Structure 1
Amino acid sequence: MGSAWKNLPEELSEPARQLAEELRTIKDAAGLSLSELASRTHYSRASWERWLNGKRVVTEQALDALIAAVDCDGSALRALWERAVTAPGEPAEPSAQDAPAAEPVSGPASDTPVGASAGEPEEALVTGQTPEPAPVAWWRRPATLLAGAALLAALLVLVGLRAVRHDGQQRAAVVPPPTAATTSPVATASPAATTPAARPIPATPTCQAIGCDHKDPKYTGCGKDARTLHTDVIGKVVIYLRYSQTCQAAWAAITEGEPNDFATIIDSTGDSEQALIHYGYDNYSNMLNASDPTIGFHLCGHQPAGDLCTSEVFDLAAVVASTPIPIGPASPPPGTGAGAATTPATDPTTAPAPAPAAATDAPTPS
């Protein structure tokens, strides 16, 4: 057989290369196929193929889903990710035309990866394995020797990461017990005590169209003029199609839900992004380029009450121009509790304004 993994792109920055190699090591150590990895994290096989082959740096939400799904050193992995996303030479975002078709996480349709023939192994998307005409002695196979060296290096990295985690656990064991100040209701309710330092939100949007593809609408400033173009209800969960006219980008949002409920935005080329509730009751996804009026968008939502997909909406800019849809957040959802994993419910990206009847026939939140 050929090498176990495709070679990473030469132009990849060193931090991004280290992150991709660590993701490969974690996948191999967990013994997961590409389909099993997609099923556990709720992200498509096509997305994991791009991240594992260094075509794009893995998103923060997908990284969190991986840490929750497999046994790995989350803090060390996040440190690698921070260096990768801030390093120059990060892999460029692909255009909408190059985006792979969306794939369901499970079901008969997902048995054969996009771009693979019916008889080709699923992992060929990632590994690029090719048959050889005849067996050759292992000591005459340079690729085998290189693969063995790479596997040994990967095992050493994995052992090092586990040692760091074990050392961190030992240090945590000797931390003095919490004081009354840290256990009081006021202290635990403080956002500063439960969340990391807030990332700055730009005063004006920092991207547009293809430049916004697969980026966070809040931290690019695109949430400032966000509008809700479509809503629908699954049980008690409300899913939203959100759009920024300034950024020419769209994304999904979900509220009134529970952990593991999610909404996915999918365009007519098959590209997708997911809003997964990690904790609390709401969240939003990264963006997709919505500058092409011929590309449609629809939402699919999931929760224990069932699954639902909406009809496609085309030319989002024309929908905004023809419908007086208000800008800004809707009323906060009923009840109390923590917000989504990435932003509070009153932020424009996660608490979208419900669309009027002219924009959609779906129910709107109370």
Structure 2
Amino acid sequence: MGQPDQVNAGAELSTLLRQWWQGEEVVLKQDSVVGKLKAHGIEITQATLSRYLDPGKPSIAREEVIRALHTIFRRPPEDLPLALGLWERATTERTARNRTRATPPADPAPGPQRPSRRRPYGLAAAVLVLLGAGALWLAAPWESARPSDDAAPAAATPSPGALAVCEGEACTGLEPNYTVCRNDAVTTFVDADEVVGVELRYSRACKAAWARIGQTRPGDIARITDRDGRTQKRAQISGHGTHSAMLPAAHPRDVRACAVLAARTICANIPTSAGR
């Protein structure tokens, strides 16, 4: 499901990770690298690792994979900020591309039209209608101040320019990217599927968590549920993934992240080193 993310920063990141791998005195086989990643508490398949290391058809490596590879390949400290900077750029570019795809095309400009030969009866009727509407407004001016029953609700998340601060229950339903919770978020549980990626993202500072899915299709759902059955979920609109809003959680084990697909549900049940 889904296609690899092909963005410039993603290709740069894959190139850097491949240089880390091939820069070893003794180049490890990819299955050996997978084994070392699993020893770090990261569940990953060799096929997924191969996509992370292929600049020609790159997939954006997960943050915890980058950190673990930096340790496994014994790279100098300055290499990690460089890799994480590329990861940040790659995910930003992917989000921007997905938003561009979701923007409907502009309506084509109308072609030249012939002048109308109809008599101006329609214009006179429109003027009469407007005059009648104005009279009704003058008779009941308060009607214009009443909100429409189907008006869109106000946005529940703050502007990205000023990150909101929340903790526990106060984080319920908030968009994590618009809060300080994103600053210390780590992936605490992952799934075992070879294609679809499901992650439980957790912020210890906020005591809140959310579900993140990847390599999925529009219509698939990122869902997080707690022990009391409370749920936050979001359907993917475009691109290759999405994430849910947040639920409060004293510990990552108090919640469960899943990808709800058309024919099956995949959940993140494998703890990472950060989730133990």
The higher-RCO structure (CA 8 Å, 6+ apart) is: 2
Report the TM-score when normalising by structure 1. Answer: 0.31
Report the TM-score when normalising by structure 2. Answer: 0.40
Higher Cα Rg, which structure: 2
